[in-house]
Structure 1
Amino acid sequence: MLLFLGGTPAYAHTALQNATPGPGAKVAPGADVVSLTFGRLKSGTTPKINLTGPDGTAVPVGQPVVADDSVTCAAVTPLRAGVNTLTYTVTSADGDTQSNAFQFEVADGAEAVAVPSACRGLSLPAPYVGAASAKSGTILGLSRTAALAVLAGAALVIVGAVILGVRMLRGARTTGRRKATV
C-alpha cells in the first residue's frame, strides 16, 4: 500500500542548491561577494568558505554570514581573471558536516555577477588580508623561508647586542674597582 502513495526522498545532509558565482560559471572580474544556498543549515553554526585564486594563492574571504537559515554570504577581495576554486564546509540542520569544492572562471568580457538578493543589505565583514598571506605561505609579503631567515637574523642581532651590553657593563665595573684599589 505504501508503494502507491509515493513520496519524496529523505535527505540526511544539505546539498548545495545554488551559488553565485556557481560551479563552472564564467563571470566578469571584480565580483566581491560570494553566495552559497543550501537546504536548512544548523542554527548557530558558521560555514567556512575558502577561495583559491588562479595563481594558487588564497583569496581573502570575510567571515561568512547566514541569511534565511540557508544562504551563506561572504565578502571577498575583488576577483581577478582566471580559474578560482571555492571550498566550503557547512553543518546541516541534522548536525552533519560536509565539505566540498567547485571551480568557476573569472574572464574579461563575461557577464558581471550581481550580489544575490539574500546578501543585499547584510553587513558582511570585510576580507582579512592577513589571513590570505598566512594561508599562501607568505609573511609580510616575503616567502615563508625568507621571512624566517629575516626573523632568525633579527634574533641573532638582538642576542649579540645583549651579550655586548653585558660585557661592556661588566668591563666598566671591573675598571672602576681597579682604580679604587690603587
Structure 2
Amino acid sequence: MRRLRLLRAPAVLSGCLCALLFLGGAPAHAHTALKDATPGPGDKAAPGVNVLSLTFGPLKPGTTPKISLVGPDGTAVPVGQPVVADGSVACAAVTPLRPGVSTLSYTVVSADGDTQSSAFQFEVADGAGTVAVPSACRGLHLRAPETGGAGDGDGEAERDGNMILGLSRGTALSAGGTAVIVLAGGGVLARRARRSAHGRRPAG
C-alpha cells in the first residue's frame, strides 16, 4: 500500500503541473476583437453612409487604427484618418457610399500591443434603413476623406506639367519673357551700333 501511495503522489503532481502549464499557456483575451460596427458585418444600410464606426476592446493609446474600404466596383473608397473615441471606438469619415456590397478592412493595436487585422462586408441598398452616426463619433472632428488620393499621380503630373526646367510655369514664362526682351533690346542696340559705324566710315 505504501508503494501504491508513493506512485500516486508523483501522478497527482504531474497532473497539477500539466494543468498549470495549460492554464499558463492559454491566452487571456490577448487580442482585441471587433465587438460592434456601423455598418457592421452583413448589415444593409441606405445610400449616403458617410461615417464608419468600429468598436473594439481597449486599444493601445497613441496608436491610430487603419481603415480601408473597397466599393462594389472594386475600387478604393476614400476614407479619412480614423479618430479613437473612448479608448476603443474607431471613427472615420468616408465618401458617401453607393449601392452595392463594400468590403471594409482594418488593422488595430490592442492595449497589450497585439496587432489584429481583419475584414468584413456590408451592403448599401436602396430601401434599407438609414444608419445614424454612432453616439461615440458625434462631436468629433473627423478628417475629410482625401478624394484626390487616387489622383495624386495626376496632381503630380499636373504639377510637373506646370514646371519648366525645374521652375514653375509662371516663373519660367516670366523669365522667358524677360530674356526675349533683353535679346530684342540687344538686337536693337546692335543694329544702331552698326548704323553708327557705317555712318562714320570715310567716303570712297
What one-letter code is carried by the residue in structure 2 that aligns with 1:170? Answer: L
The percent identity for this pair of structures is 56
Shift of 1:167: 4.1
In structure 2, the residue matched to 1:103 is 121
Does the aligned pair in 2 maintain the 1:64–1:124 contact within 8 Å? no
Equivalent residue for 1:32, pick from 47, 50, 59: 50
Q: TM-score, normalised by structure 1?
A: 0.74
SS at match of 2:111: coil
SS at match of 1:51: strand
Q: C-alpha deviations, 1:146-168, integer Å up to 9, x for none? A: 983x5555446945775565244
What one-letter code is carried by the residue in structure 2 that aligns with 1:114? Answer: A
Q: C-alpha deviations, 1:45-70, integer Å up to 9, x for none? A: 22122222223333333332212211
2:63 and 2:38 map into 1 onto residues whose CA distance is 21
Equivalent residue for 1:71, pick from 82, 85, 89: 89
Shift of 1:93: 0.8
Does structure 1 residue 49 correspond to structure 2 residue 67? yes
In structure 2, the residue matched to 1:12 is 30
- The alignment of Structure 1 onto Structure 2 pairs a total of residues equal to 171
Does structure 1 residue 88 correspond to structure 2 residue 100? no
In structure 2, the residue matched to 1:133 is 148
Does the aligned pair in 2 maintain the 1:83–1:104 contact within 8 Å? yes
In structure 2, the residue matched to 1:179 is 192
SS at match of 1:118: helix
What one-letter code is carried by the residue in structure 1 that aligns with 2:86? Answer: D
Q: TM-score, normalised by structure 2?
A: 0.67
* Higher RCO (CA-CA < 8 Å; seq separation 6+): 1
Q: Using a 3 Å threshold, how does the CA distance of structure 1 residues 71 and 153 change in structure 2: closer, same or farther?
A: closer
Runs of 5+ in structure 1 lacking a partner?
A: none
Does the aligned pair in 1 maintain the 2:99–2:126 contact within 8 Å? yes
Runs of 5+ in structure 2 lacking a partner?
A: 1-15, 197-204
Does the aligned pair in 1 maintain the 2:91–2:142 contact within 8 Å? no
Q: Going by fraction, where is helix more abundant, 1 or 2? A: 2
2:63 and 2:163 map into 1 onto residues whose CA distance is 41
